[in-house]
Amino acid sequence: MNILEDINHLLPVAGINIATAAANICYSDRTDLALIELAPNSTTSAVFTQNAFCAAPVLVAKQHLKKTAPRYLLINAGNANAGTGQGGIDAAMACCESIASVMGCDANQVLPFSTGVIGENLPVDKIKKVIPDLKIDLNPHHWMAAANAIMTTDTVPKGVSCQVSIGNQVVTITGIAKGVGMIRPDMATMLAYITTDAKVEQALLDTCLEKSVGQSFNRITVDGDTSTNDACVLVATGQSKVAISELNLIEFQQALDKVFETLAKALVRDGEGATKLITINVTEAQNAKESDRVAYTIAHSPLVKTAFFANDPNWGRILAAVGRAGVKDLDINKLKIFLGDVCIVENGGRSASYTEALGQKVMNESEITIDIQLNRGQASSQIWTCDFSYDYVKINAEYRS
C-alpha cells in the first residue's frame, strides 16, 4: 500500500474529471465552485449529516441518489444554503438543472453540495454564469484546485492518494475533504469526496463507506457542533476493471480506511486555531457507549482543550472530565490515566511516579495521546480532537465579517 499525502501530487482516478471556477459567491479573490464528473456506470455511495436542520442541498442530493446514479457533483463554498426553506431547495435544484443543461444529463444525475454561512440565499445566477467555464476546465488532474475551491475557514487544502495491489493489479484511491470548525461526529462533520477506479457493487460500496466513516470521520471532534451540510461521498468508477468482492475486500478496505483516517486527522490538525492533534484512547470500559462517553467528555471540555493550548500539564482537568462523564459506579481507585507514556493518575489520585517536568515534556509536543484505563471491561474507543486557542474564538467571532 502506497499512501501519498502531498496535495500537489494527488493521483488522477480513471473515470473522474474535475473543474473549478470563481463564482464570487462570497469570496472575491479565489475559486469557490468545484465540479466532479463521474464516468458512466460509476457506483456512488454517500452519507449525510444527521442534524435535523439539514441544508437544502442535502435534501436534494438524498432525493437524487434514490432516483438514479449521479454523473456530477457540484460543490460551492461561501454559502451553506441552509435555513433557507423551500427557496433554498429551489435554488439547489436550479443549479442542478443548469449543470444538466450544459453537460447533457438529467438534473437528477447532479448532486449539489454547499458549505459556508447559514441562512443566506444561494446566489444562483452567479453559479449559473460560470458553469460553461466548468465544462471547459474539466481535467483528471485538478484535484488540488478542487481541494482549494471547497475551503471555507480551512487554512490548507486537504487530500490524499493511495495505491494498493489487488490480485496483481493496481487500484487507485484519491480523496479530498474540507472542514475545520463545526466538527462533531454524527456521520461526517465536513465535506469529503473519495474516488476509486475499482469496480464495487452498490451494496458492498455502501458497507465499505459505512465502515470507513465509522472509524475516521465519526471519530473526530473539534468543537462538538454538528453542521447542517455534512456529506461524505464515495465513488467507484470501475475503470481499472478490478472487481472488489468478499475475496479481496480486506486489502481494499484497509486502503480505504487509511485514506479516510488520513483525511479525518488532517481536518483535526487544521481545526480552527488548532495547534495540537490529540488522540484519546479509552480502554477497559463495560461497553462502547461508555468508552465513547468518557472520550467525548474529555474532548469537548473547554478547560482540557485550553490547557493543551497553553502547554499546561493541568492533569486535574482530565481527571474531572472523566469523573463527570456519567459512568455509573465508577471506581476511581481502579482507573489509570496516562499523558503520553507518563502515568498521571492511579489509585484514586496523582500517580506516585508523576512529576510536573514529565508532564510538561509531553505537553510541549504537537501530537499528544491521552490513555484512560477504566478497568471495568473489554470495550474501547479512540477519537481525535484538538486544542482551543485564541484564534478559535477570533475565527468564529469574525466568521461573517
Active site residues: 189
DSSP 3-state assignment of 327? Answer: coil
Q: How many residues does the chain have?
A: 401
* Residue listed under C-alpha cell 468518557: 294
| β 191-196/169-178 pair status | antiparallel
> What is the DSSP track for 364-388?
TSSEEEEEEE--S-SEEEEEEEE--
Q: Give 379: exposed, middle or buried? Use CB within 10 Å, 0-12, 13-18, 19+.
A: middle
The torsion region of residue 348 among left (phi > 0), alpha (psi -120 to 50) and beta comes to left
Task: List CB contacts of 227: < 8 A, sequence separation 6 or more.
Answer: 49, 51, 179, 182, 183, 189, 190
Largest Cα span, the chain: 71
> Which backbone phi and psi does 3 adopt, to 5 degrees?
-100, 130
How many Å apart are CA 288 and CA 382, to the nearest integer? Answer: 10
